[in-house]
Amino acid sequence: MSVAGLFRVGVIGDPVAHSLSPAIHQPALDALGIRASYERWHTSGDDLPARIASLRSPDTLGASVTVPHKVAVMPLLDEIARSASDAGAVNTVINREGRLVGENTDVYGFAASLAETWGNGTFGTNAALVLGAGGAARAVVLGLHGLGVPDITVVNRGQCRVRKLAADLRSVPIAIGDPEPDALAEALRRTSVLVNATSLGWKQGETPLSLDLVGNLPPRAIVVDLTYRDTDLLVAARADGYRTLDGLAMLVHQGAKALEMWTGKTSPLAVMREAALRARDRRA
């Protein structure tokens, strides 16, 4: 071990300097009394095989995996869990005595954060509209399906990507939505949960749809943006009286699930939530 008795775990990506994961996981490890250091492991595509091989070391608990490696990492592992196979991506690697297992906790993280906000625990009569058709949208769709949402529509500017997502998740009934404004307005009128799973929102002034369409949602709808900040979409939704949820809660819940997989201990969710809020405030 790099320091006597100290375990290692980290986040693998390119880039990773922006990652909030160390600020969330280190206080949780400390609260559990686990002598471990959570690190940022900047890793290029060329260096990925060597980085993954290093996770087999006895002093390494595993790793978080972020963009752009969530798919590329899969053939480098010994086992792919059902959660990752269904999601088509790995975001968590567990070292089990030198054997590397790939898991996906994003689906769980999204479902847990939405259930927490929804509050009533009943999803069977609701409809969801998901904007985007990439890896994040796949996790959202699986999370919604797991919660029992029966009507899921996916909208993306490129229809080919939506059709591929629907084909890959053929066990989940997905409707392919029309991105044209009039069609979007009609779809929103019957939507209980609107989720932005695109990258539009990281920068101020970016929106995944025209904000004047948001008011078409029913009065008790929830608007979710997977970005870790208060995006223009969320601000507009609150101004129209809707409940909102950003991506920080999903990050915390998926991280808590990963921590349990690495350590076998119940994650201190309150500690992780407080740490995430502090980290976001510092960044702001």
Distance of CA 204 to the CA centre of its chain: 21
φ/ψ of 251, rounded to 5, equals: -60, -45
Question: Rounded to an integer, what distance in angstroms lies between the CA atom of residue 109 and that of residue 224?
Answer: 13
**Whole-angstrom distance, CA of residue 282 vs CA of residue 108:** 27
* Residue 66, pLDDT score: 95
> Exposed, middle or buried by CB within 10 Å (0-12, 13-18, 19+), for 37?
middle
Q: Distance between CA atoms of 200 and 24, rounded to whole angstroms?
A: 24
- What's residue 119's pLDDT? 76
Write out residues in the chain with pLDDT < 70, as ranges. 1-5, 120-122, 124
With beta carbons less than 8 A apart as the criterion, state whether 67 and 16 touch.
no
164 is catalytic: no
Catalytic residue among 70, 164, 203, 257: 70
Confidence (pLDDT) at 249: 96
Taking alpha carbons only, the member of 67, 58, 61 closest to residue 26 is 61
CA–CA distance, 149 with 118 (Å, rounded to integer): 12
The rounded percent of the chain whose pLDDT value lies above 90 is 87
Q: Is 269 in contact with 256 (CB distance < 8 Å)? A: yes
What is the reported pLDDT for 118?
85
Alpha-carbon Rg for the chain in angstroms: 19
CATH numbers and ranges of domains, the chain: 7-104+254-283 (3.40.50.10860), 108-246 (3.40.50.720)
Which of 265, 224, 278 shows the shortest CA–CA distance to 31? 265
Rounded CA-CA distance 115/148 in Å is: 11
CA gap 28, 37 in Å, rounded: 11
What is this structure's pTM? 0.94
- As a whole number of angstroms, the longest Cα–Cα distance in the chain is 63
Q: What is the pLDDT of residue 204?
A: 85
Query: Hey, what are 281's tokens?
Result: 């405030």
**What's the CA gap between 274 and 143, in Å, rounded?**
24
Q: Which of 8, 57, 56, 3 is nearest to 34 (CA)?
A: 8
267 near 260, Cβ under 8 Å? yes
- Please report the pLDDT score of residue 2 as a whole number: 45
